Amino acid sequence: MAEAIQLKTRGELQAMRAAGRLLADAIAAGRAGVAPGVSTLDVNDVVAGVIAEGGGTSNFLHYGARRDDPGFPATICASVNDEVVHGIPSADRILHDGDLFSIDAGCILDGWHADSAVSVHVGTPPSMDEVDLIAACERAMWVGIAAARPNGRLGDISAAIEQSVAWSSRADGRRYGSVSGYGGHGIGTAMHMAPFVPNQGKRGKGPRLAPGTALAIEPMLTLGRPGTRVLADDWTVVTKDGARAAHWEHSIGIGEDGICVLTAPDGGAAGLLPFGVVPISLD
């Protein structure tokens, strides 16, 4: 039997919103520090500083720790160019003009987890391909979020993401690779909980999105094929064909009367506006 989906009370969703706001501030600060000549560890340290100042802790640091294995060594995943996700920040990894940089981070506040990611250009993008890629990935995330409804189905979100990628491929005149095998997840008292949220699926299928459900929604797109491999550091996921990749993620809460984007400063109001969806306020 599948692991049950953790359902939160409204008060618990409010607590998750506080964690989400702190993470939004931290990622915004990290993003603002991105520039040619800056190292990925510099960006990591900015994000870590804001989380600590806000009374939170990192859920990425020591993720996956076991005996004799300290787990993931940093606060953010810093993934550059053909790195899709789970890149390790380093003082030696200097960002250059034209790079595509994905910042994925999470935090825990009062026991509640938040998880969010953005992809940005470092300086001037080398071509419109990269501009379109980042936009298509962000759009797929918002289309997916807009498809989430109280008592809807998980497949509604997955199908919407899949459809958005197909639309963008047609509109942009290129075939985006949609990375499979990785995807979104339930979130709450842990970062990765049931259910897995695939970036492909069928509308009307999958578990019911009962009020109290919280999910991280995270499409990953490439300018080439969707295939990936893991580097020898056992963390960094890169595209097999060396094509560049983008990654966007927000954590959302589903209430009785609608959804709230927990990790967006405005609760998702601007991102959801094109879809006629008005997020609920948990404040």
Residues engaged in binding Mg ion (CB under 5 A): 104, 115, 117, 216, 249
Comparison of 130 and 249: residue with beta carbon closer to Mg ion: 249
Cβ–Cβ contacts within 10 Å for residue 38, how many?
Answer: 17
Q: Report the b/e string of 188-205 with b at 16+ CB within 10 A.
A: beebebebbbbbbbebee
Comparison of 29 and 273: residue with beta carbon closer to Mg ion: 29
User: Cβ of residue 276: shortest distance to Mg ion, in angstroms?
Assistant: 27
Phi and psi angles of residue 45, each rounded to the nearest 5 degrees, phi first: -70, -35
Collect all residues with Cβ–Cβ distance below 8 Å to 233 and sequence separation of at least 6. Answer: 88
Comparison of 25 and 249: residue with beta carbon closer to Mg ion: 249
Q: Say if residues 86 and 222 touch (Cβ distance below 8 Å).
A: no
Q: Say if residues 78 and 95 touch (Cβ distance below 8 Å).
A: no
User: Cβ of residue 217: shortest distance to Mg ion, in angstroms?
Assistant: 9
Comparison of 183 and 211: residue with beta carbon closer to Mg ion: 183
DSSP class of 226: S
CA nearest 100: which of 137, 126, 74, 75? 126
Cβ–Cβ contacts within 10 Å for residue 92, how many?
Answer: 7
| Block residue for tokens 């804001």 | 50
Comparison of 46 and 85: residue with beta carbon closer to Mg ion: 85
Beta-strand runs (E) in the chain: 76-80, 83-85, 100-109, 112-121, 177-178, 184-186, 193-197, 214-217, 220-222, 228-230, 237-239, 245-247, 250-254, 259-261
Comparison of 59 and 222: residue with beta carbon closer to Mg ion: 59
Comparison of 127 and 189: residue with beta carbon closer to Mg ion: 189
User: Cβ of residue 215: shortest distance to Mg ion, in angstroms?
Assistant: 9
Comparison of 128 and 228: residue with beta carbon closer to Mg ion: 228
User: Cβ of residue 243: shortest distance to Mg ion, in angstroms?
Assistant: 21
Identify any residues that bridge with 94 across adjacent strands, giving them in sequence order: 39
User: Cβ of residue 113: shortest distance to Mg ion, in angstroms?
Assistant: 10
Cα separation, 159 vs 236, in Å, equals 27
